[in-house]
Structure 1
């Protein structure tokens, strides 16, 4: 049974400050970031950014109870930060700050695209899908994780840009790993974070230049609205990751061409070319998710030249990376077990 030591775990709400609405002071745009800090760790962290109506918990555990990607990256020595984007997960939807939200998607819509696309055949590659977990409750748990989302892509982008500065103060130098509709948010965050963002791994990212979507048109490259940050989000090593059985293959191929033309380090990782087959859009939750995480960790090691010597054992941490005083955890180390 694999274990690793943590110096700290916790979380914090991020906020752009209060708003005055109809004579009352109310919370403004807010988000939540959770962190896990391994004792022997790299200087560079990993920031997970979820998609659509999802939440950060998707990176902690799969719907059938296996360790999620966060655990694989912790074993590799990365401090892990998991973002609940504004209005998602631990950060409830606040229409005063975020505007209206779309209704939560129903079983018919999401099952045909995420859980059992092979049964519905909405796209040609769907027939190859065979990696959804066999646990009979996995689909229900996935549906339970889904919540509201902004009515427009530009609003989703504006929301993450509002909390970006405070987020990067916490993560420090980091690697963004985004999924789906978190892809455009990841590019927007990188434009704000600049040199704080060492690399981006965009997993099945939404959008390509000019793509017309129900929530808006991609009018600014891989984003729907002009970036509020001044840095070039593509001026760093980038990978796009695409499953064999997803509807995103054409979308991701067009996005990949856009990034390649910018001349930076880039790879479009088509999973079947690495012996990983049958994955749909929600590959972070599927039965071979750990193999995909291992592939991404290897890609980062190669493209960022990360060596085992980058690991550090740190016992004294500044806030928010506070140590626990619980006598059960002498020395500040906490050992979770991975089942």
Structure 2
């Protein structure tokens, strides 16, 4: 049974941009949605979850087999939690007049071999090690139900989050960005806009490395495809890259890690198997050992930020 905790606030807000004029009509502009949960006794710095690809923020609330998601682990540790639906994703409908074109929706044949059952398809050398997807027979269906449209270019996805960045940081204050997959480049771009409001970045299997040629764009700006809208150095803060044992992202993440490490900042490439956490594919927040991974992330944040993320006594948090 999950340990209870007390919330002082929870809610959500659309971060709305200026209305867009197209086809003789007025439409909502580029907008994101942020859901938040604030524990009764909280740390002075929050955690912002940024989902990947065609996903949505719900991935951090609950696992596909119904277990408490990473949001609960960070709340129990005393962090205010903010969960972003990036523009055009989750609760923010995709409108091609505003967001530009979207890719076709992915089907089971495309996503299952990469996310749910890679051990059955042998698409990359480490795939055979994958054994952490939930046994619940409907877990894969629930994962597929969460997957929606995404931009046809990485640059467009980056520009969308940059458009809501100012309103986002005004709402959440000092924060730690926890990004995933194609949300990784969005996390770096947000840090360039947020500057000293971003205390640290934990990039979960982030997409890209310098010079990588991807079907949606070439990484011409370090770990992003496009120049930053912000002026801050995204890597001028503690950074961790987290990689599973059985994912196709291992080589790409190693190249990204080398790029960040060469910049001389506080950095760690967390390879989960080196911490006794094995068999994971790409959806680390969804797999059966997700809670152990979350605990590892909390420990890294506490070690890296120290007093900047000091947390109250457990008696003040637990109900």
Same fold flag (TM > 0.5): yes
Post-superposition CA distance 1:279-323 (Å, at most 9, x none):
00011100000000000000000000148854399xxxxxxxxxx
Tell me which residue corresponds to 1:265: 266
Preserved contact between residue 8 and residue 37 of structure 1 (Cα < 8 Å): yes
> Is contact 1:85–1:160 with CA below 8 Å preserved after alignment?
yes
Q: Is the 1:190–1:231 contact (alpha carbons within 8 Å) kept by the matching residues of 2? A: yes
User: How big is each residue's C-alpha offset from its partner over 1:146-178, in whole Å with a ceiling of 9 and x where there is no partner?
Assistant: 000000000000000000000001110000000
Aligned to 1:245: 246
CA apart distance, 1:22: 2.5
Partner of 2:211: 210
CA distance in 2, matches of 1:32, 1:86: 8
Any stretches of 5+ residues in structure 2 without a counterpart? none
**Which residue does 1:186 correspond to in 2?**
187
Contact kept in structure 2, 1:41 and 1:312, CA below 8 Å: no
1:300–1:306: 8 Å Cα contact kept in structure 2?
A: no
SS of the aligned residue for 1:234 comes to coil
Query: Is this contact kept in 2: 1:244–1:271, CA < 8 A?
Result: yes
RMSD across aligned positions (CA)? 1.6
The offset of 1:97, in angstroms, is 0.9
Give distance in 2, aligned partners of 1:267 and 1:71: 24
Is the 2:59–2:286 contact (alpha carbons within 8 Å) kept by the matching residues of 1? yes
- Deviations along 1:253-294, whole A, 9 cap, x unmatched? 000000011110000000000000000001110000000000
In structure 1, what is the equivalent of residue 19 of structure 2?
18
The aligned counterpart of 2:94 is 93
Separation of aligned partners in 2, 1:5 and 1:191? 33
Tell me the matched-pair count.
316
Distance 1:221 1:116 in 2: 31
Looking at structure 2, the residues matched to 47 and 55 of structure 1 have their Cα atoms a distance apart, in angstroms, of 13
Task: Quote the Cα distance in structure 1 between the aligned partners of 2:209 and 2:67.
Answer: 33
Aligned to 2:47: 46
Q: Distance in 1 between matches of 2:237 and 2:31?
A: 28
Runs of 4+ deviating beyond 2 Å: 306-313
Which residue pairs with 1:169 in the alignment? 170
**Cα separation, 1, equivalents of 2:299 and 2:84:** 23
For 2:153 and 2:259, the matched residues in 1 are separated by: 23
Residue of structure 1 equivalent to 2:157: 156
Are 2:118 and 1:117 aligned? yes
Output the TM-score relative to the length of structure 2. 0.97
Pair 241,310 (structure 1): closer, same or farther in 2 beyond 3 Å: same
What aligned pairs does 1:1-339 form with structure 2 within 5 A after superposition?
1=1, 2-306=3-307, 310-311=311-312
Offset of 1:334 from its aligned partner? 12
Q: Is the 8 A contact 1:240 1:256 kept in 2?
A: yes
The two structures have a TM-score, normalised by structure 1, of 0.91
In structure 2, relative to structure 1, the CA distance for the partners of 1:31 and 1:308 (3 Å cut) is closer
